[in-house]
Amino acid sequence: MSDLGSLSSHLWDTSDLYRNAVMQLQEAAVTMRLDPNIAERLKVPKRALIVSVPIRLDDGSIRVFEGYRVQHNMTLGPGKGGIRFHPEVNLSEVAGLAMLMTFKCSLVGLPLGGAKGGIRVNPSLLSRQEAQALTRRYTTEINMIIGPDKDIPAPDVGTDGQHMAWMMDTFSQERGFAIPGVVTGKPIEIGGSLGRNESTGRGVVYTIQHAAKHLAKIGKPGPKIDGSTTVAVHGFGKVGAVAAQEISQLGAKVVAVSDYDSAIYNKNGLNIADVIKYATNNKVIRGYPEAEAISNEDLLALNVDVLIPAAIDGVITEKNVKNVKAKIIAEGANGPITTEAIKVLEERGAFIIPDVLCNAGGVVVSYFEWVQGIQNFFWSETEVNEKLAEVMANAFNKVIDIQQKHKCGMKTAALIAGVDRLNRAMLLRGLFP
């Protein structure tokens, strides 16, 4: 049969993120004895679109950017996943992120599939008008595969609610009427959900609380999330800043945070509200007066109870994992720990809260926003947070049950939880033709 050929893997596997996602899928497949035909289908995306995005810059010149939208698997429902603006975005990375979204949506029980998008661009170099032109033109180039019943984008690295407002408006203009359900993460004024901006970081903290209780229950050493608990946050952005604020409000001491530029440390704990204010005014945390400067690598090596890598993928690798000392590592970012590093940490006894569980709060509340938009019936922030807490608790308990059943790591257990639901759905739907 080998002479028949197959989908060429090199099209996707140029990024570490994609390769790690496939390796983790393979490990889960072996552990759960997954149907090999299902495993084969899950290794590659269903559909990928590469588009040219030409815009006129403020100086009058034309610049063409490269954009992507990848739909990994839509067995459970419409695609769901963010739009990333970053100078290093590529097809393989987007495909890997879309795969993780598939498993994430399945794990937390949503009727959604996995997708992801991006444009290779440095958003910090764009004016507001250039950013708007880029977002709108990108929307027109992918409009045939997105929609409230097809594929629903959301913000990601380098994008925010304003970008989603431009996407929603562009898509609606082309259809002739308002379609708020085409994206989530929108401003409240045009159909966004209360609690959406904080949902990913808040979900991270919910899972840390569950992890601490679980460790105490099984008699393993771990923090109680109180005044004696020390926390370091790698990546002080939309996820990390909220997680830092939420966990500090529970009484924990956040002793270090970092952004793309630098890191800061105070052994007595940082005033997170003050750091957020400083970062908002100065665009970076460098120079914050109530802390000492350290490097991002120094932050990862701090002897803290909880480490939250909430920036980008691949920050903890086999090269630096020997320096990581945290008891609980909560993957606020997608794929921040490589497969090799995960094995080292688990052998050492660190408790890893895997990304598909840890940072699922964002897609959960995106689903809530989508539902509210379809019904034109909106919930209070208290209702949103209560429903989010319930979903995250159920998902965490599901992963723990699988981890104990299979005697495997948390990362593998989380993927098994997501893949098992997908497996049953894909077998029921069959293969067409």
Which residues carry out catalysis?
Answer: 116
* 399: its two tokens: 């992963």
CA distances from 29 to 24, 33, 351, 405, 417 (A): 9, 6, 22, 15, 11
* 423: its two tokens: 């497996």
Q: Which distant-in-sequence residues (6+ apart) come within 8 Å of 313 by Cβ?
A: 16, 17, 20, 93, 333, 334, 335, 336
* 390: its two tokens: 């319930």
- Number of DSSP helices (H) and strands (E) in the chain, helices first: 14, 12
Whether the CA torsion 82, 83, 87, 89 is positive or negative: it is positive
- Distance, C-alpha 56 to centroid of its chain: 31
Start-end of H helices in 283-409: 296-300, 339-348, 355-358, 361-375, 381-406
DSSP label of 151: E
* Gap between the Cα atoms of 13 and 36, Å rounded: 20
* 85: its two tokens: 């603006």
* Gap between the Cα atoms of 98 and 75, Å rounded: 14
Closest of 354, 373, 392, 337 to residue 154, by C-alpha: 373
